[in-house]
């Protein structure tokens, strides 16, 4: 999957989505992930859902036909016309603290005496409590059937609206048996549904447990890798035989990469290319292609925050997305190994899809500000290709690959070679 994250509060009302969908398709994405768009509670947060069967009020145009659900349809058709499939958040770990569900089904929630329990997390050792949310209660044993019936109705509603993928928010906070039960029930009715587990921040064992209950993909942490430590490869090996994974250079929950790399295009290209080659799928949020610097916010972001582009990475992103189609090794979480390189500032990574025999060799300059030399006595031996070695890099492709091979990598540049 090549996923374009259309952040709804930045894109604006449904009636304003068409140009963003057209751009996503032109860039070579085949999925559009839309963050939670259901009706929000008091805080207005996308992830504080009050009514699962209505749309968020900021996405609806009061000047258009009275049924808000119909306003989504033109955007849906615009995406379909361009071959895009839609994915949306499935948030079953909490809801808005002022949702009618608390009165209708208090037994579905966690309570401390007469007070509702709010979800929390720890950031830099500090406890952060989301006071606008109410936490659902799931027993470790058999899932509560009434709740499962409700979530099945929610999935059915979203499916009827054209969504074929579900990114399951904070999936590791829900018992695996709940997911096993729900995914099986959904697939018995909707066989073409794709489930993605949002697993950032959980232990590798928790990710592996989720991978075994029916998810099609999990999120990986390649965005934070320093190109040196072993932890990312350990995470990759933990799940690669079970499920595919999704890389991203930034997400709606992280600072904008353009701000982190001081608006250096080479740094942006470096991280996007790595996301494209590392795992089977990749995701990019709206605005990355133009070097937006303002972090997205699930409460306060508005379409008026659309920024003046500081760069245009569209050609590079399109070429990188097309590159993934050149080899099965770039489309799967297959065997991956790091190869020792004389220059420690160059990453040399080999991916081999053993089922097809396809292999990809990646040379990546870890330094996004300086040139770095690379030398190899025999590239063909490294990738086990006797002939037909091709450069499929998104830019600066080489027509000739001599033996020995010597090259001065531009700042942040990556070279991707595949066998035939």
Domains of the chain, with CATH numbers?
2-333 (3.20.20.80), 337-418 (2.60.40.1180)
Q: Is 328 exposed, middle or buried (0-12, 13-18, 19+ CB in 10 A)?
A: buried
Which of these ranges, 171-175, 208-212, 384-388, has the smallest mean pLDDT? 384-388
C-alpha gyration radius of the chain = 22
| For range 307-326, the mean pLDDT | 97
The answer, yes or no, to whether residue 125 has pLDDT greater than 80, is no
By percentage, how much of the chain surpasses pLDDT 70? 97
Task: State the pLDDT at residue 388.
Answer: 80
Q: Which residue has the higher pLDDT, 321 or 65?
A: 321
Kindly state the average pLDDT of the residues 294-322.
Answer: 97
Reported as a pLDDT band with limits 50, 70 and 90, residue 387 is low
Tokens of 289: 């292609």
pLDDT for res 383: 87
CA dist., res. 289 & res. 276, Å (int): 14
Tokens for 349, please give them. 């990574």
- Grade residue 141 by pLDDT with cuts at 50, 70 and 90: low
Mean local confidence (pLDDT), 129-157: 88
Residue 124 has pLDDT above 80, yes or no: no
Which DSSP letter does residue 330 get? G
Q: Is the dihedral of CA 52, 21, 322, 223 positive or negative?
A: negative
Highest mean pLDDT, choosing among 54-68, 233-247, 295-309: 295-309
pLDDT at 122 over 70: no
Phi/psi of residue 167, nearest 5 degrees: -90, 115
* Whole-number percent of the chain with pLDDT over 90: 83
Is the per-residue pLDDT at 121 higher than 90?
no
* Higher-scoring residue by pLDDT: 383, 43: 43
In the predicted structure, residue 153 carries a pLDDT above the cut 80 = yes
Chain centroid to CA 246: 6
pLDDT band at residue 204 under the 50/70/90 scheme: confident
Average pLDDT over residues 21-34: 98
47: left (phi over 0), alpha (psi -120 to 50) or beta: alpha
What does the pLDDT average to over 229-242?
A: 90
Task: Sheet containing 414-418: give its strands across.
Answer: 335-338, 346-353, 358-365, 414-418, 390-391
DSSP assignment letter at 102: H
361-378: average pLDDT: 96
Sign of the CA dihedral running 144, 149, 152, 158:
negative
Average per-residue pLDDT for the chain: 93
Task: With a cut of 80, say whether residue 385 has pLDDT above it.
Answer: no
* Rounded average pLDDT over 73-88: 96
pLDDT at 381: 87
Alpha helices in 109-173 (DSSP H): 145-160
Band (pLDDT 50/70/90 cuts) for residue 188 is: very high
Q: Is the pTM of this model over 0.75?
A: yes
pLDDT at 206: 84
CA 112 to mean position of chain CA atoms:
35
CA geometry: angle 279, 323, 339, nearest 5 deg:
55
* Residue 142: per-residue pLDDT: 58
Does 292 or 208 have the greater pLDDT score? Answer: 292
Per-residue pLDDT at 143 exceeds 90 = no
In this prediction, residues 183-195 reach a mean pLDDT of 95
Range 188-214 average pLDDT: 89
């Amino acid at each position: 999957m090549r996923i374009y994250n259309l952040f709804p509060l930045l894109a604006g009302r449904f009636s304003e989505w068409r140009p963003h969908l057209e751009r996503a398709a032109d860039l070579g994405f085949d999925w559009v992930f839309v963050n939670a768009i259901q009706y929000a509670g008091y805080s207005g947060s996308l992830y504080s859902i009050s009514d699962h069967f209505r749309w968020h009020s900021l996405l609806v145009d009061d000047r258009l036909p009275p049924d808000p659900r119909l306003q989504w349809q033109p955007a849906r058709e615009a995406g379909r016309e361009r071959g895009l499939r839609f994915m949306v958040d499935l948030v079953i770990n909490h809801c808005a603290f002022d949702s009618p569900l608390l009165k209708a089904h208090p037994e579905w929630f966690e309570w401390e005496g007469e007070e509702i329990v709010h979800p929390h997390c720890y950031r830099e050792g500090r406890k952060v409590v989301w006071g606008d949310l109410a936490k659902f209660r799931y027993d470790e044993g058999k899932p509560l059937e009434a709740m499962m019936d409700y979530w099945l109705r929610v999935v059915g509603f979203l499916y009827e609206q054209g969504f074929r993928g579900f990114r399951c928010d904070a999936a590791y906070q829900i018992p695996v048996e709940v997911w096993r039960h729900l995914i099986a029930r959904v697939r018995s009715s909707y066989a073409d549904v794709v489930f993605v587990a949002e697993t950032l921040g959980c232990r590798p064992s928790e990710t592996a447990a989720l991978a075994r209950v029916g998810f099609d993909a999990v999120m990986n942490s390649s965005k934070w890798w320093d190109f040196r430590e072993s932890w990312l490869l350990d995470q990759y090996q933990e799940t690669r035989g079970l499920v595919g994974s999704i890389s991203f250079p930034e997400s709606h929950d992280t600072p904008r990469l353009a701000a982190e790399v001081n608006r250096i295009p080479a740094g942006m290209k470096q991280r996007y290319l790595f996301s494209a080659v590392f795992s089977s799928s990749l995701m990019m949020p709206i605005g990355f292609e133009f070097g937006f610097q303002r972090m997205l916010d699930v409460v306060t972001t508005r379409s008026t925050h659309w920024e003046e582009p500081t760069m245009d990475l569209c050609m590079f992103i399109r070429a990188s997305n097309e590159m993934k189609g050149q080899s099965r090794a770039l489309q799967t979480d297959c065997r991956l190994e790091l190869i020792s390189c004389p220059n420690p500032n160059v990453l040399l990574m080999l991916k081999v899809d053993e089922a097809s025999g396809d292999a990809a060799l990646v040379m990546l300059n870890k330094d996004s500000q300086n040139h770095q030399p690379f030398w190899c006595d025999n590239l063909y031996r490294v990738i086990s290709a006797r002939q037909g070695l091709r450069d499929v890099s998104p830019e600066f492709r080489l027509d000739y690959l001599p033996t020995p091979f010597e090259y001065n990598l531009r700042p942040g540049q990556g070279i991707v070679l595949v066998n035939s």
